[in-house]
Amino acid sequence: MKIALIGYGKMGHAIEEIALAKGHEIVLKVNIDNIQEFTTDAIKKADVAIEFTGPETAFDNIIKCIENGVPVVSGSTGWLDKLKEVEDAVKDKDGAFLYSSNYSIGVNLFFEVNTYLARLMKDYPEYDVQMEEIHHTQKKDAPSGTAISLARQILENLGRKKDWVNQPAANNEELSIISKRVDPAPGTHVITYTSDIDDIEIKHTAHNRKGFASGAVVAAEFLNDRKGIYSMRDVLFG
Ligand SMILES: NC(=O)C1=CN([C@@H]2O[C@H](COP(=O)(O)OP(=O)(O)OC[C@H]3O[C@@H](n4cnc5c(N)ncnc54)[C@H](OP(=O)(O)O)[C@@H]3O)[C@@H](O)[C@H]2O)C=CC1
Ligand SMILES: O=C(O)C1=N[C@H](C(=O)O)C[C@H](O)C1
């Protein structure tokens, strides 16, 4: 598979290593300092683009790939207010797009556990819930995209929280997400249900970026030759 790496930072490098080890070819690597190489001709040489840049740049990069008929796997966080526009563009161009706030298999299993636990807790209002996420100090967005995905699952399934806040909760209807920035943390997410009697805590700790990167390559293999809009749930659970 011919891969274009849009964003060749920490994740771009980790993805390159895994893609090459699996026999894929990297036909384009784009960063700010060589952005002029991200041309129509260059991107069209790729079977699939893997986009990991950041909150400010993801949307334009994704649209550029879609307009040139190249399927895109994006992992950038902090831009999802524009997701509907991307989905419209994919439909308009009969393109292919796959997004996940977190590509690691472990976190995608953790998403399922989180949903299940929130459903169980629906009937036990004596438990309050809060979340903590810990990442490295270079991270641009807070809370993390993964924390927002986890919070949405809790809001949808627990029933008694109305919205999440990125600070201590002011009342029982707010789900508090506390963000901490500590090097070199690749990504830790903790959800704690607390009552007067006991606590139940679920935690995912990434030890490095390999899980995110290998999941993104598996997602690219899945998306190659497909049309439509997908998530890691489609890749892992069909
Ligand atoms: N979904 C997931 O599983 C994961 C998602 N992420 C997310 O991925 C994103 C990137 O993370 P990470 O690799 O750690 O960040 P880095 O800052 O290490 O890398 C981002 C790279 O993108 C480049 N870049 C910035 N703007 C553009 C642009 N317009 N076009 C092309 N390249 C650009 C930067 O170039 P320069 O250095 O020149 O500025 C930089 O090299 C973040 O949003 C992060 O939250 C991270 C890990 C896992
Ligand atoms: O910026 C990061 O590093 C990470 N970003 C993603 C997020 O915001 O959830 C995924 C992972 O936690 C690492």
Residue nearest to atom 16 of ligand 1 (CA): 9
Q: At 220, which CATH number? A: 3.40.50.720
Report the pLDDT value the prediction gives residue 36, as an integer from 0 to 100.
Answer: 96
pLDDT at 109: 98
Ligand 2 pocket member 100 (CB < 6 A): no
Domain check: are 114 and 85 in the same one?
A: no
With a 6 Å cutoff on the Cβ, whether 32 touches ligand 1 is: yes
pLDDT computed for residue 96 by the predictor: 98
Secondary structure percentages of the chain, helix, strand, coil, to 5: 40, 25, 35
Q: Are residues 16 and 75 in the same domain?
A: yes
Shared domain check, 32 and 20: yes
The alpha carbon of 213 is separated from its chain's Cα centroid by a whole number of angstroms, namely 11
Which ligand has the minimum distance to the alpha carbon of residue 210?
A: 1
Please indicate whether residue 143, judged by its CB atom, sits closer than 6 Å to ligand 1: no
The pLDDT tens digits of the residues spanning 149-167 come to 999 999 999 999 999 999 9
Amino acid symbol at 175: L
154 and 191 co-located in one domain = yes
Question: Is the CB of 53 within 6 Å of ligand 2?
Answer: no
Mutate which of 80, 144, 153, 204 for ligand 2? The one with the most ligand atoms within 8 Å of its CB, which is 144
If you take atom 13 of ligand 2, which residue's CA is the nearest one? 187
pLDDT at 215: 98
Do 86 and 156 lie in one domain? The reply is no
Length of the chain: 238
Residue 205's pLDDT is 98
Helix (H, G, I), strand (E, B), or coil: what is residue 3? strand
Residues identified as active-site = 135, 139
Are residue 88 and residue 45 in the same domain, yes or no?
Answer: yes
Any ligand 1 atom below 6 A from CB of 7: yes
Domain identity same for 32 and 123? no
65 and 114 part of one domain: no
Same domain as 201, residue 140:
yes
Q: What is the predicted pLDDT for the residue at 100?
A: 98
Q: Quickly list DSSP for 171-203.
A: STTEEEEEEEE-TT---EEEEEEE-SS-EEEEE
Residue 149 confidence (pLDDT): 98
- Low pLDDT (below 70) residues in the chain: none
Distance 165 CA to ligand 2 centre (A): 18
144 lines ligand 2 (CB under 6 A): yes
Domain count, the chain: 2
The predicted pLDDT at position 83 comes to 97
Among protein residues, the one with the nearest Cα to ligand 2's atom 11 is 187
Q: Give the number of whichever ligand sits closest to the CA of residue 54.
A: 1
- Per-residue pLDDT tens over the stretch 5-14: 999 999 999 9
Residue 126: the pLDDT is: 98
Q: 141 and 165 in one domain?
A: yes
Task: Give the closest residue to 121 by CA, choosing from 203, 176, 198, 233.
Answer: 198
Domain that holds residue 8: 2-103+210-237
Give the model confidence (pLDDT) of 168-194 as tens digits.
999 999 999 999 999 999 999 999 999
Q: What is the pLDDT of residue 37?
A: 97
- CA 99–ligand 2 middle distance (angstroms): 13
The region, left, alpha or beta by phi > 0 then psi within -120 to 50, assigned to residue 225 is left
137 and 185, same domain (yes or no): yes
Q: Residue 56's pLDDT is what?
A: 95
d(CA 67, CA 74): 15
Verify that 97 and 17 share a domain, yes or no.
yes
d(C-alpha 176, C-alpha 198), whole Å: 19
Query: Are 130 and 166 a contacting pair, CB within 8 Å?
Result: no
- Across the chain, mean pLDDT equals 98
